[in-house]
A and B are shown apart, each in its own frame.
Chain A
């Protein structure tokens, strides 16, 4: 039962352009959402989060948008840089005890 879905396994973007990564969830009880970035052979690194009382959170080049009615989450990276190339996971929770992760989107930023 995949409660968090990332339907795009991969995405390629030119350096300097915007990267948009999408995530859908099914559980309307989720109240906290996060994005993690993962390089090969490393653990996921926290990137940005948003609670369900907000619809947007911005941190530098990274912005997360939350559309609760559509149960949709997106991460915008602008401008994209080659160092952003990694696998991005979205995750959701309603208890804090466990997070439900998507299957990840592999982002490649082309110089």
Chain B
């Protein structure tokens, strides 16, 4: 079974600075998808960024980018020019591509605080 680990329960960053959230996963599969989700306080969880394992190029969405290291099974999220609205819980998630694929595996989350 796949597992997802986020080793940083809490992190903080100064407004306008850059922060990197860590995620590692364990799988024996070669084809899969990885996601970062953001859950602001008392608000809906939304998708931040998505990475396909067969693509070597790291995904980027505006101020959010990932560092995907397939061999190391590492999938970190970099937030540049941090804003107060980035304060949230961030979850890393894995989705298999080799079976029917309904199931997602989530990490425990990292709570990010943004300091003004």
Physical interaction between A and B: no
Residues on B lying within 8 angstroms of A by beta carbon are none
Residues on A lying within 8 angstroms of B by beta carbon are none
